[in-house]
Structure 1
């Protein structure tokens, strides 16, 4: 008997190809997790500007931006040089390595400071740079009644009146910019005039645009108190470190400190055995620790403020780096001249020196 073949099975309908996943299909939380893995802040800016979804994910959560800054400290783009007195400072970009993001950030910014206004009736305003911190450049005009705070990256320019002249007569004075904790928030300017026997502050908010003047503080009232005749502080500008300003004189055993939140002055003992050893500079490590750096006989010495094994806070010697070989490698640049090293800045675990 012939075997009949079974009828063919019905054909399954062909499944449609899966729709491709686009950036718009990702949720904001997933986008932010991806963005945290980007290598630098310029890369994040370029990624955020690719579409509305990316921009919304970055803008909507201040906690994400804080977290990104913690993981990716902003790179040093360059330095401003006061080559000529009372002339607009010159900007020198760093070219340590080829980085297209950093190159794009510098190329699209105004580091020539061309947006700074000129003087009245065509006179030279004589802008002098006084502080540079967190992307802000603070300049003081010697020929006008204004000071300028400028962000070369965003080209945001703010003009403010100078502090009243009566609190800056016959004393050293300086300015410090305190950037906002949140993006686009108000910032403050701390003005400090100081002498060996005391100091005074004034504060300007970008919201009120008015100066709030605080009374003079005698050195003898600063804690821990020392005899006024023993007080002597560097004529260099103080260093802003983690919300505190430090003035250090290498020949002394203490430093003057200003808490920028409470605006209270105090003193802090310096590391032992470094009196008279050379220029001292306060700075902040990448994890937020206070450090002091000095150069002793072409050796870089780094002290950290921390808690010892017994639970006491004190200065602890962290590292020493011999610099003589590095200077010898640059010998052709100095043509036999005596080399003098100066500490310019301490940023994100890097010490920047000039020779």
Structure 2
């Protein structure tokens, strides 16, 4: 071999490149991370027909709901200020604002007696005491399931009723009405032997479970929608006897299917109360002590294993809210357990307050004093054509190409 030449050993072949998902798989993962707001998917659909096809796939929509299951957007609130009408008031700004008429519902007929019992997991619950049935309603899809109450449930005059629902498959992004449970309550106001009863309905079997009962000291009324904690549904119950020791909480353990009653924090007997859900899905309570002070309590187990109420913070509304005039006539109107948001009014000005960050927003001036039932959900069925008039095609391409490149970098 000549001096200027070196022997060359055959080079080893480069390692095989890792297989990457095809472009559609990458694109789906990127689109999955769009904000769960009503305008997100319709606007993304404007980019091209290919994107529209991916975004309209029911399998993608199911994954989208599952991916954002922990923080569904607060779309608005329902109220029953007008008898016979379940009125929806949107809380989002355009282009995410859903028209009131889109989700409002005419309820009952003529002189029927009905109660709106709240919302959870994209569903709403209505009790019709005249027809002796519950209606489980999906406001976004417009679908309803009617469930007859257990036989004999309404046979006692002077009884009080309440109920709550949960969606079995909401964590998997399922359609809400596919599988749900309803817990129905009945309270007997017999002064000598007051009792509370509960029964649970499973939509997958179509059967009510056996009634569960608990004896209570005095007759009570069941007020406000329930709050879902880690493994229980809880209601606030108030005593009819004003000379007794005030407010209590009724707990229905979903795993053990058992009832329990315990007291509210000491010192809140004369307060306006609202059950809330704290961090780690623990039970909490907001107590309006006066027009400007809200106490936030949490129920915690001590070292001895006994659960007690612990004061977490006091909120001074006169320092928090930007209200020019003195704060008077304060009321609590409702609570969103997903966003940890409470709804209050002062002099008929309605505010929503995020209880962790203390951020607040003025919503509107109320004409009536009523309860507000927050509604959260994934409005993924928006009409794309209505957005064509709001967003130009070129702007959509610009926005989503930037989203695409920004996410690729990360």
* Residue aligning to 1:205: 202
Higher RCO (CA < 8 A, seq sep 6+): 2
Question: Does the C-alpha gap of structure 1 residues 152 and 256 become closer, same or farther in structure 2, counting only changes over 3 Å?
Answer: closer
* Residue aligning to 1:324: 318
Paired with 1:53 and 1:286, the residues of 2 have a C-alpha distance of 36
Paired with 1:263 and 1:36, the residues of 2 have a C-alpha distance of 37
Instruction: Report SS of the residue matched to 2:42.
Output: helix
Question: Does the C-alpha gap of structure 1 residues 111 and 236 become closer, same or farther in structure 2, counting only changes over 3 Å?
Answer: same
Question: Does the C-alpha gap of structure 1 residues 289 and 66 become closer, same or farther in structure 2, counting only changes over 3 Å?
Answer: farther
* Residue aligning to 1:19: none
Runs of 5+ in structure 2 lacking a partner? 1-20, 46-50, 239-244, 347-410
Question: Does the C-alpha gap of structure 1 residues 45 and 169 become closer, same or farther in structure 2, counting only changes over 3 Å?
Answer: farther
Residue among 254, 267, 272 paired with 2:261:
267
* Residue aligning to 1:236: 223
Question: Does the C-alpha gap of structure 1 residues 56 and 48 become closer, same or farther in structure 2, counting only changes over 3 Å?
Answer: farther
Give the conservation status (yes or no) of the 8 Å contact 2:79–2:86: yes
Runs of 5+ in structure 1 lacking a partner? 1-23, 220-227
CA shift at 1:281, angstroms? 1.6
Give the conservation status (yes or no) of the 8 Å contact 1:188–1:206: yes
* Residue aligning to 2:287: 294
Give the structure-1-normalised TM-score. Answer: 0.70
Paired with 1:255 and 1:319, the residues of 2 have a C-alpha distance of 20
Question: Does the C-alpha gap of structure 1 residues 108 and 194 become closer, same or farther in structure 2, counting only changes over 3 Å?
Answer: closer
Whichever of the two has the greater Rg, that structure is 1
* Residue aligning to 2:135: 148
Residue among 297, 309, 312 paired with 1:315:
309
CA shift at 1:205, angstroms? 2.4
Residues 245-254 or 73-82, more deviating: 245-254
Paired with 2:147 and 2:44, the residues of 1 have a C-alpha distance of 32
Instruction: Report SS of the residue matched to 1:46.
Output: helix
Give the conservation status (yes or no) of the 8 Å contact 2:297–2:311: yes
CA shift at 1:331, angstroms? 4.4
* 1:111 matches 2:103: yes
Question: Does the C-alpha gap of structure 1 residues 265 and 161 become closer, same or farther in structure 2, counting only changes over 3 Å?
Answer: same
Give the conservation status (yes or no) of the 8 Å contact 2:87–2:100: no
Residue among 246, 256, 271 paired with 1:278:
271
Aligned residues: 302
Instruction: Report SS of the residue matched to 2:343.
Output: strand
Give the conservation status (yes or no) of the 8 Å contact 1:247–1:256: yes
CA shift at 1:187, angstroms? 0.7
Paired with 1:128 and 1:350, the residues of 2 have a C-alpha distance of 23
CA shift at 1:259, angstroms? 1.3
* 1:190-222 deviation digits (Å, cap 9, x = unpaired): 111124732111222223334333143324xxx
* Residue aligning to 2:89: 92
Question: Does the C-alpha gap of structure 1 residues 248 and 53 become closer, same or farther in structure 2, counting only changes over 3 Å?
Answer: closer
* Residue aligning to 1:303: 297
Paired with 1:84 and 1:149, the residues of 2 have a C-alpha distance of 21
* Residue aligning to 1:172: 160
CA shift at 1:168, angstroms? 5.3
Residue among 43, 46, 63 paired with 2:42:
46
Give the conservation status (yes or no) of the 8 Å contact 1:283–1:345: yes
